[in-house]
Amino acid sequence: MSDHIAAVAQAQRTEKGLRYEKNMERLQNLIVAGGPKAKALRDEVMRVKAVGVENVYTIKTLQSMSVQYANDEYIGDRLMPMVNAGPQPTGTYFIYDKRSRLAYPSDDLADRGMANEIDDSRSTASFACVDRGLSNSVSKRVVDAQDAPLNELIDLTEAINEGLALKREQRQATIFCTAGNYGGNTGAIAAGNRWDSAGGGSPVKDIQTALKGLWQGRGPSKKVGFCSRDVWDVLARHQEILDLFKYNGSSPGLATPAMLAGWFGLDTILVGDARQDTANSGQTVSYSRIWSDVFGVVRVAMRPTIRNASFAYRFLVDGAPKATQWYDQRPGLDGRYYAKVAVSEDMKVVAADTGWLITTPIG
């Protein structure tokens, strides 16, 4: 009997287990004495001995899923190709004279005449990279105690990269949504002609105007349109846009970026869905879209090349961010793991007239 009681005591870590052990001790004493009290106590012991589901397992954490929100797709890097600036944070690049390729002297040549000499010139512009970076840390005790599927050392750096991507998207959106960066290639639509006005305006005409004013370069490139989510939602259901497909024998319901890009001869149209929290730390969260309500078209080089024109580039020292991770035993009881990702970059419009911006497409 004592062996059985010891086995039950080891298996049961609950209140019922403790009651069972205590009552079995009393039962042993009463069995010797006999009587009705012994029978009643035996029944109580057997009731407590019945083990429920809640007595045989501990709550476990699922290893196949968790919840983590992600921002919508960033579009800034797809509008601004990266240029490896080399090891130095500053430098220059050449600009070929635009006019020299569009006006030439007479090419008539007499039998003994001299060919007219053309004009061709070069100028330079500069870039200056700025250091940027974020860091993160986690205590060694947290790393040692973590359960699957958590991996705090991976999250340590991943969170930094996400933060840098968000800050970069904010800067890129500011560059592409600022009319002053387009060298006069901008158009503001009057209130009565905006695409969400009662009259509906004419987005087809407005986008054609933008495309007509776009300058080209020589190298491999794409013509890319971009806009905010609110602007795209208006375009997707605009009757003038839908009529383009209706007369083509199709009924799309709502237009898609790929469909509209094809009609206007664009390679793609990017929709700025990414969000940001504009509230200060400690205040109630306030979410808003990063990209302003504009519609733009820019020429985007497929790769940086010489003798080419692309709207903007991201100059990056050594062509990549620098990521480091280390352990410092001094903080706290067991120390902390640290991570830092840093970059030296300059985002610059280099050929403003290869872009066009419609600043007030909707009200």
Tell me the per-residue pLDDT of 60-79, one tens digit each, with 9 for 90 and over.
777 777 787 878 889 999 99
Q: Alpha-carbon distance 221 to 308, whole Å?
A: 9
Domain that holds residue 15: 2-55
Cα-based torsion angle of the residue sequence 82, 83, 89, 92 in order, rounded to the nearest 10 degrees: -130
Q: What pLDDT, on a 0 to 100 scale, did the predictor assign at position 48?
A: 57
Orientation of helix 15-33 relative to helix 2-11, angle to 10°: 170
Q: How many domains does the chain have?
A: 2
Q: Alpha-carbon distance 357 to 336, whole Å?
A: 48
Three-class DSSP category at 48: helix
End-to-end CA distance of the chain: 86
Residue 62 lies in a domain: no
Q: How many residues in the chain?
A: 363
What CATH number is associated with residue 241?
Answer: 3.90.1690.10
Q: Alpha-carbon distance 309 to 298, whole Å?
A: 11
- How many other CB atoms are found less than 10 A from the CB of residue 96? 15
Confidence of residue 251 (pLDDT cuts 50, 70, 90): low
* Rounded mean pLDDT, 271-286: 93
Q: What pLDDT, on a 0 to 100 scale, did the predictor assign at position 147?
A: 85
What tokens appear for 336 in the block? 């902390």
28 and 149 in a single domain? The answer is no
What tokens appear for 280 in the block? 């200060």
Confidence of residue 50 (pLDDT cuts 50, 70, 90): low
Place of tokens 């919840």: 67
213 and 348 in a single domain? The answer is yes
* Rounded mean pLDDT, 97-120: 89
250 and 209 in a single domain? The answer is yes
Residue 239 lies in a domain: yes
Mean of the per-residue pLDDT values for the chain? 87
Q: What pLDDT, on a 0 to 100 scale, did the predictor assign at position 17?
A: 57
Query: Measured in whole angstroms, how far is the alpha carbon of residue 27 from the centre of its chain?
Result: 69
236 and 189 in a single domain? The answer is yes
- How many other CB atoms are found less than 10 A from the CB of residue 135? 13
Residue 98 lies in a domain: yes
Q: Alpha-carbon distance 127 to 92, whole Å?
A: 6
DSSP label at 89? Answer: S
Confidence of residue 140 (pLDDT cuts 50, 70, 90): very high
Confidence of residue 139 (pLDDT cuts 50, 70, 90): very high
258 and 138 in a single domain? The answer is yes
Confidence of residue 120 (pLDDT cuts 50, 70, 90): confident
172 and 287 in a single domain? The answer is yes
Cis ω on the peptide bond leading into residue 149 (within 30° of 0)?
yes
Residue 65 lies in a domain: no
Confidence of residue 92 (pLDDT cuts 50, 70, 90): very high
- Tell me: the pLDDT tens digits for 170-221? 999 999 999 999 999 999 999 999 999 999 999 999 999 999 999 988 888 9
Q: Alpha-carbon distance 133 to 130, whole Å?
A: 10
81 and 46 in a single domain? The answer is no
Q: What pLDDT, on a 0 to 100 scale, did the predictor assign at position 126?
A: 96
* CA angle 78–83–84, rounded 5-degree value: 135
146 and 272 in a single domain? The answer is yes
Confidence of residue 15 (pLDDT cuts 50, 70, 90): low
Q: Alpha-carbon distance 25 to 13, whole Å?
A: 18
β pairing state of 312-317 and 82-86: parallel
Q: What percent of the chain has pLDDT over 70?
A: 83
Residue 268 lies in a domain: yes
Using the predicted structure, report yes or no on whether residue 103 has a pLDDT greater than 70: yes
In this prediction the pTM is: 0.80
**Most confidently modeled range among 10-19, 46-55, 304-313, 330-339:** 330-339
Using the predicted structure, report yes or no on whether residue 12 has a pLDDT greater than 50: no
Q: In the chain, helix, strand, coil percent, each to 5?
A: 35, 25, 40
What tokens appear for 7 in the block? 């086995």
Q: What pLDDT, on a 0 to 100 scale, did the predictor assign at position 38?
A: 63
Q: What pLDDT, on a 0 to 100 scale, did the predictor assign at position 217?
A: 83
Residue 94 lies in a domain: yes
* Rounded mean pLDDT, 212-232: 93
Q: What pLDDT, on a 0 to 100 scale, did the predictor assign at position 18?
A: 63
If you count DSSP H runs as helices and E runs as strands, how many of each does the chain have, helices first?
Answer: 10, 14
Nearest to 347 by CA among 129, 56, 194: 129
Q: What pLDDT, on a 0 to 100 scale, did the predictor assign at position 74?
A: 95
Residue 206 lies in a domain: yes
Using the predicted structure, report yes or no on whether residue 152 has a pLDDT greater than 80: yes
Q: Alpha-carbon distance 229 to 328, whole Å?
A: 45
Three-class DSSP category at 264: helix
Residue 147 lies in a domain: yes
